[in-house]
Structure 1
C-alpha cells in the first residue's frame, strides 16, 4: 500500500500558480455536555461569488491543521473535530485551474495522492470527525464529507454533486470508493455517472439526505447550532446514527454486479465507447465492493492521474472555460440576422454519433430530420436508436405522449440523397477521412439548394480541404460537437477563408437553438 506520508509533494506545491488559498480557520466550541469540539471553517477570504476550492497550497494548510488537531486529540484536549464552510459555501472541490495546469502525469498522480493523504486524515484523528455542510458542496467538497465520520447538511444548500465525469475525470479523493459503500451501488451510479451525464445534474439537500449521503438535515435558520447539538448527542450516545442505505451482503454479492452490468450496457448505448471517464468511474465503482479502503484509494490515484493527463480532460477544460467565460457573448459570431432559416435538417450517416445528432436536432429544433447511410439496414438501425431514445424520455416523463409521437414522425431515413433536396442544413458524421467526407458532400450538393448550409463534424481534418471539391465552398462550416453529444455544452464552429457570413451565422444560431455554446475557430 502507498504510504502517502513518505511522498514529497513540494514539486506539486511549486507548480501551483496564483492559487486562491482556502484557509482552515480553527476555533474551539464547548458543547452543552462540556465536551470540546474543534471547528474548522474553510474560507478563502472572498465572498460567495468565489467558492472555496482545494488546490495544493490549500491542501497543505488543511493537512497541517489536521496534524495539529490529531496531536491535541492525543493529549485529550479535544473530543471531536468538525469542518464547515464560509457563508453559503462548503467547498466547490478541487481547484480546476490548478489541476488543468499540471504538466505531467507524475504531478497528476501527486494531486490525487495529496487529496487522499489530506482528506484521509479526517478518519485518523483519534476522535470522531464531522462535516457540517452549510452550502454548496461539489467534488472534493463532498469528498471531505465522505471522509468524515458523520455528516450534516443545510436544507438550503445550493447543490450537492460529484461532477467529475462531466469534466472528463473521476471522483479521485475517495468518492468512487466511499460513496458506494455508504449508499449502495445503484445510488452511487446515479450520483457518480448518471447525473453528470445528464447535463451535470446536481442533488438538492433533501435528495442527498434521502440517498444516505448525510446523517442529518437541518434548517438554515439554526444550522450550525443544530449540527453542534446533534454532534454532542452522537458523542454521548443519545443520538443513534443509522446508515439506512448501506449495502448488505446480498447487495454486494448479487445486486452489485448486476447493477454494474446494466450500467455498462446503458453507457455503451448512450455515449458510445469514446469518453473514457464514465467507464473508468464505472470500473472503480465495480471494484469498490472488494478490498480495503487503501486499495480503493490507490485505484482512484491511478485513474485520476491517467485522466488528468489525457486529451479528453484537456478538451473538457477547454470547453468548460469557454462556457464559463464566453457563453454570454459568443466570440467570432457574425450578425445573427444573416442566418438562413432552418426548416429541415439532413444528417449524413446513421451510426451512433449521427443518430445522436439527429435526436438532438429533432428535440431542440422540432423540424423534420432526415438521416441517410449506405444501406437500408444501417438506416433502420439508426432510426430504431432514435425512436428508442424518444421512448425512454417519454417513459421518464420528460416528454408527453403527443410530443413523443410528433418527434418520431419528424425523423425519417433514406438511402437516396436526392431526398435531401429540401434540407436547409446538412451535417455529416461519417468516417474521419477527408476523401470520404468530400465524396458524401459532392453527392449531396447535387440536390440541395445553392444557399443550403453544409456542416462537418470533423475534429482533426482541414475543413477547407474538405470543401475544396464543392461547387459552393462558401456554404461549408465546421460544426464540431464534443462527445458525448447530449452532455457536452460546447460546439466549435470552424470558419474557412471561403465561408460566407451567412453560413457561419447560421451555424451559430443553430448551436444556440440546440442549447449549446458556440465558439468560433479558424
Structure 2
C-alpha cells in the first residue's frame, strides 16, 4: 500500500499490535476464523492501533476474505488480549503527523482496514472482552455483530475530549446503530463530562452490543452465540436502531438541542464537538461511503490544527503522566501547591476544581460574577463527589474531606494565599485580560497564573 508510505515512515518505533489467527470449529462442520489483537505486553500497556498495526490487520482481513470466498470459513471474529480489546489510535503517532495530507491518510487507512470487517463475504463479529476506546470501539462498530463482557470497565469514544472526532466510522455508524440521542451522549456528551465511559452493561443497554456474557466463559459463550447467528438459530433484533420516524422528526431536533447545550456550556471556540455534531446530523440520510469520506476530511482538518496539538500535549502531560514530556520545566523549579483558585464557576471551571481537589487534596476556591453562579458551581462539584461515593470509587471519609475542601466566593481577596490560579471564563481576550488584571491585585508574587484558553494568545492575555 504505497499510498501509506508516509505513515510507515512515522511508525518505525511503533509498539505493534499483532493480529493472530486461529480457526475455531462451529456446528455443521463450519469454521470461524478468530483474530486476537495482542501487542505482546501485559495489561498495563494496552493494545493500540498505529499505522503498522492497521496495515497488518488489513492484510489479515484480506486473507480471511479470500478464505471466505473459497468456502474455507463461515465467519470471522475479532477479540483482544486479556482485559483489553484496544485503547484506540496510537496517540504518540497521531501527534507526530506533520500535515493535513498525512492526517487524511491515517483516517483513510483506519476506514479501509476496519471497514473491511463489513465486506468479508461472511458474518463478522467482535467480542468486546475488555477496554475498548476510540478506534478500539470502532473495530466493533464496523463489524456485523458484537458481544460484550459484562465486567468491561471502560467503553467510549473519547475523541472530542482530545480535539478530534471518531474518525474510523464511529460518527456515522453509531447513530445509525443506536439512534441519534444515544449517539450524541456517547460521542459528545460523555467526553465533555470528564471523559465519562460506559460499562459493559451500559453498552448492551444502549444497543452497542447485541448480547452480553459473564467473564468466566465470555469467549466460549461468544463463539457459541456467533455459531447460532451463522446457523440461523439466533435472530438479532436491535431495539434502538433508528426508524423512519426518528430520522424524519427527532434527528435534527436532537442535534439542535445538543448544539444549544454546547454553546451554553463551552462556547463556540472548541471545534471538535461542533464538527462531531455536523457529522452526526449528516449521518441521518447519507450512505456509509459518504459518511466515511466526511470523517476523513473532518479528522484530517482537526488533527492538523492547533487545538488538537494542544490537546495532545495536555494529554501526554496530565493523563498519561509521562515521566518527562517534551517541554516540561526542570523538576528543581517545582514548589508545593497548598491552595488552588479557579476563576469561573461554569461547567469547565467546576470540572477543573473537581480535578484539582481529587488529585491534590488541597483547598480549592472558585469565584464568579455573583453568588448565585458560585453556589451553582460549588453544588455541581459536591454532587459529583457524591456520585463518586455512590459508585464506591471513594470512601465516605474521603468524600467528606473533598467536600469540605471546596468553597466558593465572590471576593477575590480570598485568592490571596493561592499558589495556583487558573481562569476558565468566556473565550474573549478582553474578558480574560480583565480577569487577570483584577486577581493580580490580591495574589502573591510567586503564585502561578494559568489560562484555559484553547485559541487565544497566552502572551496577549498576560499583557
1:100 CA drift (Å): 0.9
Q: How do residues 63-102 of structure 1 correspond to structure 2 at under 5 angstroms?
A: 63-102=58-97
- Are 1:305 and 2:308 matched, yes or no? no
Q: Assess if the C-alpha contact under 8 Å between 2:27 and 2:227 holds in 1.
A: yes
Q: Show the counterpart of 1:199.
A: 194
Match for 2:136 among 115, 120, 141?
A: 141
Q: How do residues 278-427 of structure 1 correspond to structure 2 at under 5 angstroms?
A: 278-326=273-321, 331=331, 334-336=334-336, 347=343, 357=349, 369-371=366-368, 379=369, 411=408, 413=410, 420-421=412-413, 423-424=415-416, 425=418
Q: Assess if the C-alpha contact under 8 Å between 1:362 and 1:411 holds in 2.
A: no
Query: CA distance change for structure 1 residues 224 and 274 in 2, over 3 Å: closer, same or farther?
Result: same
SS in 2 for 1:197: coil
Q: Unmatched 5+ residue regions in structure 1?
A: 372-378, 414-418, 454-473, 485-491, 497-522
- Are 1:479 and 2:456 matched, yes or no? no
Query: CA distance change for structure 1 residues 386 and 279 in 2, over 3 Å: closer, same or farther?
Result: farther
Query: CA distance change for structure 1 residues 362 and 151 in 2, over 3 Å: closer, same or farther?
Result: closer
Cα separation, 2, equivalents of 1:359 and 1:73 = 50
Residue-by-residue CA offset, 1:419-452 (whole Å, 9 max, x unaligned) = 64554247666863699559935x963xx4xxx4
Q: Assess if the C-alpha contact under 8 Å between 2:422 and 2:449 holds in 1.
A: no
Query: CA distance change for structure 1 residues 79 and 369 in 2, over 3 Å: closer, same or farther?
Result: closer
Q: Show the counterpart of 1:231.
A: 226
Match for 2:264 among 260, 269, 275?
A: 269
Cα separation, 1, equivalents of 2:214 and 2:89 = 27
Cα separation, 2, equivalents of 1:341 and 1:395 = 21
Query: CA distance change for structure 1 residues 208 and 434 in 2, over 3 Å: closer, same or farther?
Result: closer
Residue-by-residue CA offset, 1:44-67 (whole Å, 9 max, x unaligned) = 111212111111111111111111
Q: How do residues 147-162 of structure 1 correspond to structure 2 at under 5 angstroms?
A: 147-162=142-157
Q: Show the counterpart of 1:112.
A: 107
Q: Assess if the C-alpha contact under 8 Å between 2:147 and 2:212 holds in 1.
A: yes
1:359 CA drift (Å): 8.3
Q: How do residues 415-494 of structure 1 correspond to structure 2 at under 5 angstroms?
A: 420-421=412-413, 423-424=415-416, 425=418, 432=429, 440-441=437-438, 445=441, 448=442, 452-453=443-444, 474-475=445-446, 477-481=448-452
Deviates more, 1:158-167 or 1:295-304: 158-167
Cα separation, 1, equivalents of 2:42 and 2:73 = 30
Q: CA RMSD in A?
A: 3.5
SS in 2 for 1:29: strand
Cα separation, 2, equivalents of 1:294 and 1:104 = 24
Query: CA distance change for structure 1 residues 393 and 250 in 2, over 3 Å: closer, same or farther?
Result: farther
Cα separation, 2, equivalents of 1:183 and 1:438 = 43
Q: Assess if the C-alpha contact under 8 Å between 1:112 and 1:300 holds in 2.
A: yes
Cα separation, 2, equivalents of 1:19 and 1:83 = 21
1:395 CA drift (Å): 9.0
Q: Show the counterpart of 1:241.
A: 236
1:481 CA drift (Å): 3.0
Query: CA distance change for structure 1 residues 477 and 183 in 2, over 3 Å: closer, same or farther?
Result: same
Cα separation, 1, equivalents of 2:332 and 2:338 = 17
Q: Assess if the C-alpha contact under 8 Å between 1:24 and 1:40 holds in 2.
A: yes
Q: Show the counterpart of 1:125.
A: 120
The TM-score normalised by the length of structure 1 is 0.73
Deviates more, 1:312-321 or 1:11-20: 11-20
Q: Unmatched 5+ residue regions in structure 2?
A: 390-399
Cα separation, 2, equivalents of 1:76 and 1:358 = 58
Cα separation, 2, equivalents of 1:218 and 1:362 = 35
1:252 CA drift (Å): 1.0
Query: CA distance change for structure 1 residues 356 and 42 in 2, over 3 Å: closer, same or farther?
Result: closer
Cα separation, 1, equivalents of 2:162 and 2:5 = 26
1:219 CA drift (Å): 1.3
Cα separation, 1, equivalents of 2:232 and 2:112 = 30
Cα separation, 2, equivalents of 1:399 and 1:240 = 39
Residue-by-residue CA offset, 1:329-371 (whole Å, 9 max, x unaligned) = 99456443xx6667xx685xx7x97x95478559957777554
Residue-by-residue CA offset, 1:157-215 (whole Å, 9 max, x unaligned) = 23111111111101000000000000011111111111111111111000100000001
Match for 2:47 among 29, 45, 52?
A: 52
Query: CA distance change for structure 1 residues 25 and 438 in 2, over 3 Å: closer, same or farther?
Result: closer
Cα separation, 1, equivalents of 2:412 and 2:261 = 32
Cα separation, 2, equivalents of 1:84 and 1:75 = 24
Q: Show the counterpart of 1:184.
A: 179
**Higher alpha-carbon Rg:** 1
Cα separation, 2, equivalents of 1:340 and 1:391 = 23
1:477 CA drift (Å): 2.9
Q: Assess if the C-alpha contact under 8 Å between 1:33 and 1:232 holds in 2.
A: no
Deviates more, 1:140-149 or 1:428-437: 428-437
Q: Assess if the C-alpha contact under 8 Å between 1:346 and 1:420 holds in 2.
A: no
- Are 1:62 and 2:57 matched, yes or no? yes
- Are 1:15 and 2:16 matched, yes or no? no
Cα separation, 2, equivalents of 1:346 and 1:219 = 44
Cα separation, 2, equivalents of 1:438 and 1:193 = 29
